[in-house]
Each structure stands twice: as structure tokens, then as C-alpha cells.
Chains A and B, each alone.
Chain A
Amino acid sequence: MLAALSAVFTTVAIVGILLYESYGFFEHVALKDFLTDTVWTPLFENPRYGILPLVSGTLTITGVALMIAIPIGTISAIYLSEFASHKVRETVKPILELLEGVPTIVFGYFALLFITPLLQKIFPGLPTFNMLSPGIVVGIMIIPYIASVSEDAMRAVPMSMREGSYAMGATRFQTAIRVVTPAAISGIVAAYILGISRAIGETMVVAIAAGQQPNLTFNPMESAATITAYIVQVAMGDLPHGSIGYQSIFAAGLVLMLMTLTLNLIGHMTRKKFSERY
């Protein structure tokens, strides 16, 4: 019982620490400035605390990642669930699980020293630190996750619905697109939402390959910092405990936590709705 409480304790501790340190932060910085100012320079001499540039960086990278992960992940899931033979599925599923276990720092290496030089050949003006390359890599990283969660949702669609469709003379492709996918849609959407939440919280790839300059832009060809990259950057330096810079990473963390928590709750709710349907 006490052990089970440890989970509750961790949550309470996370929320408590974030709120406590952010409270100190908001004693110095007005909430209005935090949410509307367009410059984030807490470590400069004339500090300004507008979270928007960090949020825009986070959203841009997430957007690029989703453009890669959603189509590829969904098509892979449909293929695995409706087209692949038993043998292929049994081989690919464990490999997908293995891919999910690759440490993100390695993907960071990949983004900085493999994808970025590759992209620079295609777009000659691309800076070394840009949001396109980490976006693509984060996208590749969440493909296995989106594919395996959506595939689970599709497998949960009862066989009789497929058989009904085949009996009407539909082909596999028609059955997959018009019967199975709509029936599993809430599970698939839940997979997307949880994938987005992962992309937002992703740290190392972004910290390594996207640069550290907060930049209010949605252009993936520029360099920009994300919320997570900012936290890493500050933590690497030696900021005194209790200073405003130290508190600012907790405020940034609070924003990140709120974003992912909302997404996770929506994702779980969508998934629950779908599991009650059949």
C-alpha cells in the first residue's frame, strides 16, 4: 500500500516542486509578460521573459515531426494489421519495440551529423542548427510508437466487420480504408495525440541539433530553441540555486508539463471511449 502510494507521491512531488519554484519566478515576472512578451532572454543583462519563442520552437519541431510520423506511421499500421502475413507481423512487431528502446541521445547524433549535412546538400543555405533536421528525426523516432498503438486499435476491430465487407465484394484496400480505419479511428487519434505529447517532451535531439537561440518563428529552416532545450542549456551552466534563471527553468517546465498533461488526458479519454465501443 505504501509502495503504491509512491506513484501518487511522485506526481505530487513533481507538481509541488514545479509550482513552488515557479511561484518564486512569478513573484518577479508578471504572468502577462510571461505569456505575451515575444523575447526570451532571462540570462541577459536586461532580461525579458516571454515564453512564446520557446513555444513556437517546440510547436514547429513537433509539426515537422508529425508530417513525417503520421502518414508513415498510419500506413505502416494499416499494412501490418490488414495486409501483412502472420510471419511478417510477428517479425516486425518486436523490431518496432526494439526501435522504441533506442536512446534519444543517439538520435541526436544522427540528426546533427547525418541528417543535417544531408539536408544541407539539398538546401544549400541551411544553417548547421535548424529545426527541420531534429523535426525529421523526432518524426522517425515516434513512427514505431504511432504504428504500434494504431495497429493495436485496428486489431481490436472485430473480424465480423471485415468479413461483412469482404462478403459485399470489397477488396482488402477498400475494407482497410472504409471499414477498419473508421472503426478504429478513436484509437488511431489517441495514438497521434500521445505521439504529439512525446514529440513536445523530446529533449536530447532538439538540444543537440536545433540550436540554443530562442527565436519566434515557425520557419523550420531557421534555428530556434525549444522549452526542453532551454532547460538543458541552463542546467549545463552553473546557475546559483534560487536565482531567477534557476527559477525560470521550472516555469518553463511547468508550461511543458501542462502541455503534455492536457494532451495525455485527451489521448487517454479518446482511447477509453474507443475501448468501450465493441
Chain B
Amino acid sequence: MNPQPQANTLKNLDEVRAMIKRHKLNDYIFSIIGLLCLMVGLLTLLTLFIDLILSGYPKLLSASFYTDFPSRRADSAGLLSALVGSSLVMLVTFFSAVPMGVMAAIYLEEYAPKNWFSDLIEINVSNLAAVPSIIYGLLALGLFVYILDFGQSILTAGLTLGLLILPVVIVATREAIRSIPIAIREAAYAVGATKWQVVYDHVIKYSFGGILTGVIIGMARAIGETAPIITIGALTFIAFLPPSPITTAAPFLNFEWLSSGFTVLPIQMFSWLSRPSEAFHVNAAAAGVVIILVTLLMNGFAIRMRYKMRKNIKW
């Protein structure tokens, strides 16, 4: 017997052990790097939020900040017209995007034949979702402001944001509809329901939660959008409220507010931010906290609902 091979094996064994050790170390190192990278995103949000609160808190705590109009003096400037403006614009956005988006999704999922035409619509929707928001602003400037002559009004802003979130609503609704098992539809057809009855009584009802999640996420995005609203030329000093939508006299509803000038939360923040004076930056920070809180609450609610639904629904 030659002792040479055995020595070699032993040496190899040591090398193999060293290699395994090295590779395990690599594993360990990488998992730490990975965790760190993951933290960058999360810590940034945290830093941002804390920084905003720290620089904005004198304003955040004063009640007059929420009940005052914008002003030339930083300490008496408030958010009132932006809060009202944002709510009214969201109202228009909701009523333009949601019915349209839900109907489009139902058509695409339940009615559309599979041909080049539905493919075309599909490609369109996915492309629209990726168009930069400022392009929607240009569309609105050309189409709504000048060609249709709506002016720089709440109506223009609401419709613009409505178009912007249309793809979000369509995609979310389609996903919700697609998750309903085909058996539910077949059961309804088996007892003689028409297509519309199936859609109305089953498809819409079972996908309601999913649709709602999509709508909330879309609205949260619309509230924070700044670029398209600036592009339609709405960056002005607004120290008045639009006419109230509800009146005491019949017919109790008043649509004058649609054509009124307005400002919204992110625009107000932008105009404070673009002033050189430090005092206005405090206002900008406080407005930032308000915007983040609103969008985080809406998104958080929607995401929570989605995860809950995923767990609860068992067909």
C-alpha cells in the first residue's frame, strides 16, 4: 500500500472543510449586507418622517394652521384652502375614474372577445400606467384647459387625476375579477342567469373588496400628485374657498365649485418650499407631514385589507 494517496485525501479533506467554512462565511456576510440594503429604504422613510415632524411641529400643533388661508407672512399662513381644494378635486377624480375603470375592467374580463382589439386595449392600459404623470399634465393643459375651455378649475384637475389613476383602477379590478373561480359563474348560468345578472349579482359583489383596495391606492396616489396640477397652471395664491357644493335652497346641490380656482395640498407645499425664507420651510414640513399621513393611512388600510382578504377567502 502506498501511503501517498491517503495523505492526499486528508489534505483534501482539510481543504474541503476550509472551503465549506469559507462559503458559509460568504453566506453569512451576504445576509448581513442584504439586511443592510433592505434597511436603507426603510430607514430613509423613517429619517424623512422624523425630520419632517421635527421641523414642522410648531405648525402641526397649532390649530390655526388648519383653519387659516395661505398668507404672505409665514406664521399666519395655513392649509385651509388646500384641504378643501384637495377634497373637492378628489371628489371629481373619484366620480370620473371609478365608474369608468370598473366598467372597463368588467368589459375586458367578462365581455370582450379574445381578438386583436382587446389585445390593443390591454397593451394600452399597461402602457398608460407607465406614462410619466407630467405628460398627463400636458394633455390636460392642451385638452381640458384650452380646447374644452374648462380653465384652471377643480373640474380640470379632477379629470386629469381621474385619467391618471384609471389604469390603476382597471388593473386592480381585473385582478379582483380574475380571482373569482369560474365555477361561481357556471353555477349562476346553470340556474338560468343572464350575463348581466352574473356580473351584477356575483362578479361585482365578490370582487368588491379587491376593487375597493385598488380605488383607495389610486386615490392615495392622486392626492400626492403635484406635477400634472402644476402643469395645468394651478400654482396660484388662493385665499378663498370655492362655492359650497351643498346649498340650503332647492335643489340643494350647486355645481359652481367645479369651475372655481383652487389649490391642493402638494401644490401648497411646493409653493412654500420654493420660497427662500426659512420660515416658510417650516410650513412646508408641516404640510408634508399631513400629506404623508393621509397617503400612508390610505395605502396602509388598502394593503392591510388585501392581505387580510388573501388569508380569509377560501373558495
Which residues of A are at the interface with B, using a C-beta cutoff of 8 A?
A: 1-8, 10-11, 13-14, 17-18, 20-21, 71-72, 75-76, 78-80, 83-84, 90, 92, 94-99, 101-110, 112-114, 140, 143-144, 147, 171-174, 176, 194, 197-198, 200-204, 207-208, 228, 231-232, 235-236, 238, 241, 249-250, 253, 256-257, 260-261, 264-265, 268
Q: Is the CB of B235 within 8 A of A236?
A: yes
- Which residues of chain B are within 8 angstroms of A76 by Cβ–Cβ distance? 34, 37-38, 40-41
- Which residues of chain B are within 8 angstroms of A90 by Cβ–Cβ distance? 307
CA distance A92 to B42 in the complex (A): 9
Q: How many A-B residue pairs have CB under 8 A?
A: 247
B108 on interface, CB distance cutoff 8 Å: yes
Residue of A1, A18, A110, A208 touching B138 (CB-CB under 8 A): A18
The minimal Cβ–Cβ distance linking B161 to chain A, given in whole angstroms, is 13
A-B contact pairs, 21 of them (CB 8 A): A1-B111, A3-B99, A3-B104, A7-B121, A13-B143, A17-B142, A18-B138, A20-B142, A106-B269, A109-B269, A109-B273, A109-B284, A147-B38, A173-B30, A231-B134, A232-B227, A235-B233, A253-B134, A256-B134, A260-B131, A264-B130
Which residues of B are at the interface with A, using a C-beta cutoff of 8 A?
A: 23-24, 26-27, 30-31, 33-35, 37-38, 40-42, 44-45, 47-48, 51-52, 55, 99-101, 103-104, 107-108, 111-112, 120-121, 124-128, 130-139, 141-143, 146, 163, 166-167, 170, 217, 220-221, 223-227, 230-233, 235, 266, 269-270, 273-274, 281, 284-285, 288, 291-292, 295-296, 298-300, 303-304, 307
Instruction: Knowing A75-B33, A203-B227 are in contact, say whether A7-B221 is a contact too (CB < 8 A).
Output: no
Instruction: Knowing A108-B273, A110-B48, A173-B27 are in contact, say whether A7-B170 is a contact too (CB < 8 A).
Output: yes
The minimal Cβ–Cβ distance linking A81 to chain B, given in whole angstroms, is 10
- Which residues of chain B are within 8 angstroms of A232 by Cβ–Cβ distance? 134, 227, 230-231
Residue of A nearest to B223 (CB): A103
CA distance A201 to B127 in the complex (A): 14
- Which residues of chain B are within 8 angstroms of A198 by Cβ–Cβ distance? 132
Q: Is the CB of A97 within 8 A of B303?
A: yes
Q: Is the CB of A79 within 8 A of B38?
A: yes
A-B complex: 3 closest residue pairs judged by Cβ atoms: A201-B132, A103-B224, A79-B34
- Which residues of chain B are within 8 angstroms of A101 by Cβ–Cβ distance? 217, 220-221, 224, 295-296, 298-299
The minimal Cβ–Cβ distance linking A270 to chain B, given in whole angstroms, is 14
Q: Is the CB of A172 within 8 A of B48?
A: no
CA distance A242 to B9 in the complex (A): 85
Residue of B nearest to A94 (CB): B303
Q: Is the CB of B107 within 8 A of A7?
A: no
- Which residues of chain A are within 8 angstroms of B292 by Cβ–Cβ distance? 102-103, 106
Give chain A's interface secondary structure class. helix
CA distance A144 to B146 in the complex (A): 38
Q: Is the CB of B128 within 8 A of A1?
A: no
The minimal Cβ–Cβ distance linking B289 to chain A, given in whole angstroms, is 9
Q: Is the CB of A17 within 8 A of B143?
A: yes
CA distance A56 to B300 in the complex (A): 38
The minimal Cβ–Cβ distance linking B207 to chain A, given in whole angstroms, is 16
Q: Is the CB of A228 within 8 A of B41?
A: no
- Which residues of chain B are within 8 angstroms of A99 by Cβ–Cβ distance? 41-42, 45
CA distance A250 to B285 in the complex (A): 32
Residue of A7, A21, A105, A109 touching B128 (CB-CB under 8 A): A7
CA distance A231 to B140 in the complex (A): 13
Residue of A nearest to B55 (CB): A113
Q: Is the CB of B299 within 8 A of A83?
A: no
Contacts beyond the supplied A14-B138, A102-B292, A105-B273: 14 A-B pairs with Cβ under 8 Å: A4-B108, A10-B124, A18-B142, A71-B37, A76-B34, A76-B40, A98-B299, A101-B217, A202-B132, A228-B134, A231-B134, A236-B235, A253-B134, A265-B127
- Which residues of chain A are within 8 angstroms of B112 by Cβ–Cβ distance? 1, 4
The minimal Cβ–Cβ distance linking A76 to chain B, given in whole angstroms, is 5
Residue of B37, B107, B295 touching A72 (CB-CB under 8 A): B37
Residue of B nearest to A204 (CB): B226
Q: Is the CB of A147 within 8 A of B24?
A: no
Instruction: Knowing A6-B166, A256-B132 are in contact, say whether A109-B233 is a contact too (CB < 8 A).
Output: no
CA distance A21 to B220 in the complex (A): 31
- Which residues of chain B are within 8 angstroms of A5 by Cβ–Cβ distance? 121
Q: Is the CB of A103 within 8 A of B226?
A: yes
